[in-house]
Every structure is written in structure tokens, then in C-alpha cells.
Structure 1
């Protein structure tokens, strides 16, 4: 269970990425039905830690809390800066004992320096992916995704993608409802698929044009129906080819992939909050049949709907 979090403050770190970690994990959201964590900001040398923006932070804790934390998080840092050996040791220890390790943006270079990206998939900001691959040739660097999970090591791309990566960990450990509470408090989309493109014409996944906002809202209201590209294009008053091209340009993913993700999210919510049968949930979310829904759960979440309900459901599960 995800309970204790240690965010490592690194000299010359980026305040935004540091703030992302603090915002997701450092706020008590129990009043709204959300999670609260035992959150620690730690440093190799407690005291004044300079940021890359010219102001300093005062950190009171050393690395002790990171040695037992369920999640060790690393914000963006200068990519040519040598990390403190004590920080690298804590990161290696976290991986060895099966804790989560998260990097945001160029924090991936610290993970690479610690050796925990060797033989793994990873990502970082698209401006730095070539340098990450060159410096750590044993790492398979994906330049065109928002975040990558390999085992319990999660690397996020630049800035806002760190929110997606952090919410992904919350969702994986605590369920979709918990992640939704955090997202609502932050006023961000509750789910952006890690496989979405980093570099898109409109650099957010929510549609900004009125026509696409209306269509995606309509899609969410009709998830239980057959939503083909032809039907969606007619709704948007476009040709199917133009609709598919513009949809990907605005959201960074295809209509079909976007629909599958929304259906999966809705199914997660229903599994957590209702006692509807798997067949009923499959029909309501547009998967059609429980077997099809199961396929998508295993493919994306590496678990079955029944297994997901057993972990995150509010009601006890009696069926095997």
C-alpha cells in the first residue's frame, strides 16, 4: 500500500517539478474522500537547497525517511550535474526493496546515474531524450510518451506529464476514485494515458476547440454505444479522415484509443463504487461483453476486472 513518500530535494532542481510531487502527495485530501500520505521532503544535506530559479528552499530532513518510503520521488535536475552519491544509494536501495521510484522530467538522469534504468524502458522531456539514450545506452528511451512504467520505476516527461505519472502511481496503488479526487483538487484531467504523444500541436489532451470539446463531451455521455469514426465525424461535421487527423492533433491519440481509455476509466469507477455485475459494467461502458472488458483490463492494467474489484472495491467480492 502506498503510504510514505519521500521527495528528494536536489541542488539546482526545478521548482515546478518539485511542486508537482508536493501537490500530488503532500496534501491531506481526506475531507473530500481522497488519500493522505506520510510525506517528507528530504535532502542529502539538510538546510538550504538552491533551486535553478534563483531562490532557495530550506529542507529539515536528511535521507533517513527515504530509506523506508513506499515511494521515492526525484524532481527535475540539471542534467550535467553530478548527483550526490548518498542520493544514488537511496534510489538503488528503494528499487532493491521493491518501493516505487518516480522521476519527473530530467530527474530521469539521476535515476540513470543510480543505475536503476539499466535494461529498462524510460522517458524524459523530449528535448533531452537523445542525451539520456546516449549517456545510458542500456536504457530503452521512448521520446514520444508522457510517462513510462517499468516494474515499479516510473519516469515522466516534462512539466505537466509529471502530474500524469504521479496520478498513475496513485491510481495503480489506491484506485481510480482516489486519483480522481486528487485530480479534481488540482483541476487537471484525471487520466492521460502514458502512451500519448509528448509533442502535439495543442500541448494538452483536453480538446480546446469548441467543436472537439462538444464531441468529446458527447462521447463520454454515450460510451455504451457504438462510436465509429464515421459517426463521430458526422457529429463534428467533418469527413472521417479530417476528423481522425484533427482529433490526434488536438489530443495526441486516436479516437479509438481515447474511447478505450475513457471506457476503462468508467469501468474502474463502477467496479470500485457499485455492485453491478461484470456483464452489466461491460454493457454500460461500451465494451459489450465481460470477456472484451477483461481483455482491455489485462492489456492496460495487468489485472482482471474481478482482481481490480477485489483490491479497490468498496464492497467485499465473493465471486472468484
Structure 2
């Protein structure tokens, strides 16, 4: 049995506990209690989340045999530094546990404990640069979903904790088990650690259903040329009216937005598949591999080959 301890502090972000469902369903898939989970805190007893919900915890006193420690983040790590007792505990735990993880801003607690020194790490994009500023000996990669550097794991924002937990299941059990768990949890996809935290669809955020429908149409038909006239017809507008409304709602012209959607789709394929770059360029609507590279360099400042290398584990267990 693999014992997992979730380390909570007052004001912890409740979404961190969602990762527990990944281990619960891993037990369901394998048909046995492979994982045993328990919540801990320095004082023990009830600990309140940032939402005010009380969660029962076990104190850290006495002998505790835990294979994996997972530290929950808080909404604002800059105004809620970890207690000295927590930091001392984690330093000792790092000598005995198989691995220690920080979900979202839980990475700041690991940093304060000195566990991220000279390691690659990530955290929520809103605090990544501050982590790098405060802890210059950490190699912060602010655009990664999660990072594994030896026995230390860190993830981006809260939903990325699910991806981190799935990666643990894959490491402990089998990729097929992790896929089955993701399916049972109705996760749209299992994101690789090298995947970007950034989402073009979220950034565009149109105000009307009509422009949202045009973007959905584009995303589902990236292999096509996707002219302004075609997009306008898909939502029953004239090309001139469509361009005006699209730019007004998204802050950029249709052609630029579509290129960003192509780049995002191509990046996902590069990170998650072994398809040749020529095939990926064709499937995402670029003229050819060279055209795709030019778009990547213009927008991401990295060629597709570098993104594939990063996704395949510049940092791995």
C-alpha cells in the first residue's frame, strides 16, 4: 500500500483536495486499496480552507510513515508564508518520503523549506516570476503544467494538480490505469507536464455566443483554410460585420486569432503525440512545416523541435 499525506494549512485552497479523487479512482480501477490517503496539519484537528470549509486533519506528532507528501497551496502565498514548524517538518520528511509535491502555490512552501534549490519547478503563472525573484536558486519554468525533478514534484494552478496526480498514478501503476482514471473522472484529456498553462480560447473570451460559435467552428476545422468569409457564413454574418464584431470582442483580427489557435493545437500535438512535424503542420492548417516553424518563432520564440524536446522530459523522474 502506498500512503499519501496531504499537508494542509489554514486558508488552503480547497481545489487541492480534488487530486484525492485521482487516487481514489486508481484504487477502483486496480480493484484494491493501492493508495491510502490522509489529511495532516501541524496542530491537527479542523483546518479551514480559503472558502471557510472545515476539514479534519491528523497532527504531525509521533511516527508517521508516508510515501508521498502533497502540500496544498493557498490563494496568496506572498501574504501567507509557511510556519517554521511546517518547514522543519518538510525538511525531515524529505529524507524519508519517496517524493514530495507542491500543488499550485504549495510550491512556495517547498521553496521556503529549501527543497527546490537547484531544481526545476513550476507554480501558478500569476506567481511564477515572484517565485523566481524570491528564490533565484530555483529554475522556475512558468509555462509548465507540472514538473518532476527527482523526488520533488510541482504543479501549476489548481486543476493542474489533477494532472500531477495522474502522472503519479502512471508512475506507480501503469499508463493504462491513468487513462482509465482520467476517463472515469470525465477529464477531456490527460495533459503532459510539458504542456503550456496558457489557453488561447480562454484569452480570446468573446462576449457573444455568435463569436464563440465562430471560434468553436474554427477550432474544429483548423485543417481548412478558414477564410473570414467562411467564418462569417458559419454564424450568418457578412464578412465585414463579422470582422468588426470579432475584433471588437476579442481585441484582435480573425486571422491573428486563428493563427494562435493553430499554434495552440499544433503545440498540443507536438507535446502529446509522436506524429512527424510535417503531419502536425498539415493537420493544424499550416501550409507546411516551415510555415508552422515561422509562426512558432513569431509567437512562442521557440521552434517546434525545442517544444517536443521539452515535453519529452528535459526534467523527468
TM-score, normalization by structure 2: 0.66
Between Structure 1 and Structure 2, whose CA radius of gyration is higher? Answer: 2
Pick closer, same or farther for the CA change 1:184–1:130 going to 2, 3 Å: same
Confirm or deny that 1:22 pairs with 2:20. Answer: yes
Looking at structure 1, the residues matched to 62 and 163 of structure 2 have their Cα atoms a distance apart, in angstroms, of: 25
SS at match of 1:5: strand
What is residue 40 of structure 1 aligned with on the other side? 38
Deviations 1:199-232 (A, max 9, x none): 221359xxx935645x7xxxxxxxxxxxxxxxxx
Deviations 1:290-314 (A, max 9, x none): xxxxxx9xx54999xxxxxxxxxxx
Q: Residue 75 of structure 1 is aligned with which of 66, 72, 75?
A: 72
Q: Aligned-pair distance for 1:125?
A: 0.5
Matches for 1:278-297 after TM superposition, within 5 Å: none
Looking at structure 1, the residues matched to 63 and 86 of structure 2 have their Cα atoms a distance apart, in angstroms, of: 9
Confirm or deny that 1:102 pairs with 2:101. Answer: yes
Q: Aligned-pair distance for 1:138?
A: 0.9
What is residue 253 of structure 1 aligned with on the other side? 267
Q: Aligned-pair distance for 1:175?
A: 1.4
What is residue 237 of structure 1 aligned with on the other side? 224
Confirm or deny that 1:144 pairs with 2:143. Answer: yes
SS at match of 1:101: strand
Matches for 1:125-144 after TM superposition, within 5 Å: 125-144=124-143
Asked if 2 retains the 8 angstrom alpha-carbon contact of 1:83 and 1:110, the reply is yes
Matches for 1:108-127 after TM superposition, within 5 Å: 108-127=107-126
Looking at structure 2, the residues matched to 69 and 254 of structure 1 have their Cα atoms a distance apart, in angstroms, of: 35
Looking at structure 1, the residues matched to 181 and 202 of structure 2 have their Cα atoms a distance apart, in angstroms, of: 21
Looking at structure 2, the residues matched to 302 and 58 of structure 1 have their Cα atoms a distance apart, in angstroms, of: 35
Asked if 2 retains the 8 angstrom alpha-carbon contact of 1:6 and 1:71, the reply is yes
SS at match of 1:137: coil
Looking at structure 2, the residues matched to 55 and 30 of structure 1 have their Cα atoms a distance apart, in angstroms, of: 26
What is residue 209 of structure 1 aligned with on the other side? 216
Asked if 2 retains the 8 angstrom alpha-carbon contact of 1:44 and 1:63, the reply is yes
What is residue 93 of structure 1 aligned with on the other side? 92
Q: Which runs of 5+ in 2 are unaligned?
A: 204-214, 227-254, 276-308
What is residue 169 of structure 1 aligned with on the other side? 168
Pick closer, same or farther for the CA change 1:44–1:187 going to 2, 3 Å: same
Deviations 1:152-195 (A, max 9, x none): 21110002111111111111121112212221221114521111
Looking at structure 1, the residues matched to 130 and 86 of structure 2 have their Cα atoms a distance apart, in angstroms, of: 21
Q: Aligned-pair distance for 1:238?
A: 2.6
Q: Which runs of 5+ in 1 are unaligned?
A: 216-232, 262-295, 304-320
Looking at structure 2, the residues matched to 106 and 302 of structure 1 have their Cα atoms a distance apart, in angstroms, of: 20
Pick closer, same or farther for the CA change 1:252–1:13 going to 2, 3 Å: farther
Q: Aligned-pair distance for 1:102?
A: 1.1
What is residue 181 of structure 1 aligned with on the other side? 180
What is residue 288 of structure 1 aligned with on the other side? none
RMSD: 3.3
Worse overlay, 48-57 or 122-131? 48-57
SS at match of 1:127: helix
